[in-house]
Structure 1
Amino acid sequence: MKRGIIALGLLASLSAYSQESYVPQEGEGIVYFLPKTKVAIDIVATKVDYQPGDFCLYASRYLRLNDISTKPETHWEIKDIHVRLAGVPDSTKAYIMKLKDKSVASNIQLTDNGIVKAINTTSTEQESLPDYKLETPQPHENASKYMTEDILMAGSSAKMAELTAREIYNIRDSKNLILRGQADTMPKDGASLQLVIDQLNKQEKALMQAFTGITDRTDKVFTILVEPGDNVKEQIAARFSTQLGVLPTNNLAGDPIYVSVRNTSSLPVSEDGKKKKKDGIIYNVPGKGKVTVTYQGKKLFDDEMSFTQFGYTEVLIDGLFDKKVNTRVIFNPTTGGIVKIDKD
């Protein structure tokens, strides 16, 4: 195995066999990369949009609802912050695996960006984003749909609000009579009872929104990638503003979200060239790092994770891939470490 200049033709061929098992012709070599590990910070932020109701000015008078805003408003909230690792090709660790007559390491699986995933087998590991079950705005019922003729024909907003409030109280009285079994006409069974109660709740909610207004919540994920060095101390990953949402690091309108990465590994860092003279497949032995994310003085994440930068590289010697032994290897595309190795 030699590390050196990569032929342009081989680099161009990466896209042809990415994510697939590729069997080269005699005399060919396969270009692959080892990954370096970045910290991916997924900020789940919620945009909250509020629109006042038509009768917001009368909410206190007729429904005893105080502090109902009469002005539209939009603000942002941090719903959650998730920290994970992401593997990207390390341009300083690009290698060519050349085939030899006695070698059976002829089947190599790569990711879309050329990181080695498996040799002589297929990796089932999938790199996918977590399912954050994002919240999206739901349809709102039109309050006028449930307003009586008297309400709609009223001559002023104040009178409409008064009659709408009375209708809300009538709906509540109807629910109470049904639940107590005192209604003149009672539902015949439990399913019918639930159907009637659900419909009354739906009407009440729609009419109430004419006073309280409508609030829509929309979740959005912002992903920030941070590449750790030897020790990253309180690096600003992003900024957050309740008025503007997630902002870049240079926008001082938001408060900083800090990330720290501390090398906690005691693994030696080997030198390429001295230890890599043997021919074979070069792979990573990742080390450990402590990742901490803080915002407004609160620690949102604090855990130890695996990093290629805090480890070293090793070699799977060619002897493991001679024609007498069928060796299968699966690598972690995020760290470049070995996940599984077996042979027969």
Structure 2
Amino acid sequence: MAALQFQLQHTDPQSKARAGEITTDHGTIQTPIFMPVGTVGSVKSLTVEQLKSEVKAEIILGNTYHLYLRPGTEVLEAAGGLHKFNGWDRPILTDSGGYQVFSLAGNRKIKEEGVVFQSHIDGSKHLFTPESVMDIQRSIGADIVMAFDECPPYPSDYTYAKKSMELTHRWLERCIKHFHNTPDKYGYTQNLFPIVQGSTYKDLRTASSQFVANTNLTGCAIGGLSVGEPEEMMYEFTELCCDELPIQKPRYLMGVGTPWNILECIALGVDMFDCVMPTRNGRNAMLFTSKGVINIDNKKWEKDFSPLDDGIDCHISNYYSKAYLRHLIKAKEITGLTLASVHNLAFYLWLVKEARKHVLAGDFVSWKNELVPVLKTRL
């Protein structure tokens, strides 16, 4: 089977926004794209059928840390990989677990070999190394796998950020070596993406972007942003990284973000996004819509029988009313969590597909500048 291919189809004349197509052995992905987060192998409260028919997702995420702990690689291998286990037959990307090791795990100890950490589930001790993380992702069987990195907190002092970045680079070299020395398990090609780090220091970000570019892997990821820094700083460093990364490789900005964050970062040259925000916020009564942000818990929606959002292409968003969803959320009915999550994800996928249309049409910037204030409106 073939390695991942990226075809750059069009670049916006007034920005760095791009439209492209990623081809994997499990199908094609039109970029820019948003990837719903399925941490433990499922997108919370959604079925595969809903992801396909309502959300219109083209690729979803799994997470190495969580899948390693539950159900474990033995179960995943017995199933034939995550695609067979969860029934999703389109592309999957797995995060390496680096962020979770540093944000969830207790009593972690970072050393050259890797990271010793305690499970957030039962406190048991585990060791993640670049090699073991590659092995786990081979067992999961995602189409795109991520290198093991350290994600430094914000803010980090320069000395720590530099030391962390250099460790990430050494780990990356080990990831590449081990990945290339181990075979695909399930008869299709997996692809390794390196991750840019360097905190919020221009020279470190530049050096890391150049290091990642020189690996000549099939794509590149930008990590360590959207971790508490101001939005404008996130945009500044996203642009810096994109300017250094290869034009003919897809660029993945990890963990970003709000709908307006996504549009602004598309304008800076990013192709791929993921974030838990649409599902997490949906479960907490916040809806993103084509007309602005709705707190569906608010009493003002109690007798509003208009659709959740008739401006996007989603049956659930067009069919169910604000009043009904508010009732479900207030009653703590689990169906409400599903409807809110489906709607928010469908909105995010609608947004990136519209962005793609406007990149291809050559009017992306004017469209974005008109839409962003609308999306930020609190209804």
Q: Same fold (TM over 0.5)?
A: no
**TM-score, scaled to structure 2:** 0.16
Higher helix proportion = 2
- Greater RCO, 1 or 2 (C-alpha within 8 Å, sep 6+): 1
Give the TM-score taking structure 1 as reference length.
0.17
